[in-house]
């Protein structure tokens, strides 16, 4: 099984902690750092679907699977979720 990033950085925000928690469940890991790569930790494509579905349920956002593959870290996915929230708020403000 692949090892964690040597420069472990714990989740820094509630969103990063939520994402890391989902990853821990799916990957059966005790600890996930914000810079750990999902695929280097042994994650597979079918597990990506589980992660994305769970995060969608918890955030009420539609996440693009492509975003996960482009940034397969907690920090990268967290940034994408924040951008989705901002875009949604902007769209609702323009209505």
Residue 22: C-alpha distances to residues 50, 55, 74, 90 (Å): 9, 7, 10, 27
pLDDT of 24 reads 98
Of 81, 71, 60, give the one whose Cα is nearest residue 16: 81
pLDDT value of residue 94:
72
- pLDDT of 2 reads 52
- Digit-by-digit pLDDT tens for the chain (95 residues) are 555 556 899 999 999 999 999 999 999 999 999 999 999 999 999 999 999 999 999 988 888 889 899 999 999 999 999 988 888 888 888 76
Q: Is the pTM above the cut of 0.85?
A: yes
* CATH code that applies to domain 14-94: 1.10.1200.10
- In the chain, % helix, strand, coil (3-state, to 5) comes to 60, 0, 40
């Amino acid at each position: 099984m692949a090892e964690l990033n040597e420069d472990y950085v714990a989740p820094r925000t509630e969103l990063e902690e939520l994402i890391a928690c989902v990853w821990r469940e799916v990957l059966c890991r005790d600890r996930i750092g914000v810079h750990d790569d999902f695929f280097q930790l042994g994650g597979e494509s079918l597990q990506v679907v589980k992660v994305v579905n769970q995060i969608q349920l918890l955030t009420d956002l539609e996440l693009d699977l492509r975003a996960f593959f482009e940034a397969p870290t907690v920090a990268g996915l967290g940034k994408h979720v924040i951008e989705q929230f901002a875009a949604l708020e902007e769209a609702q403000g323009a209505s």
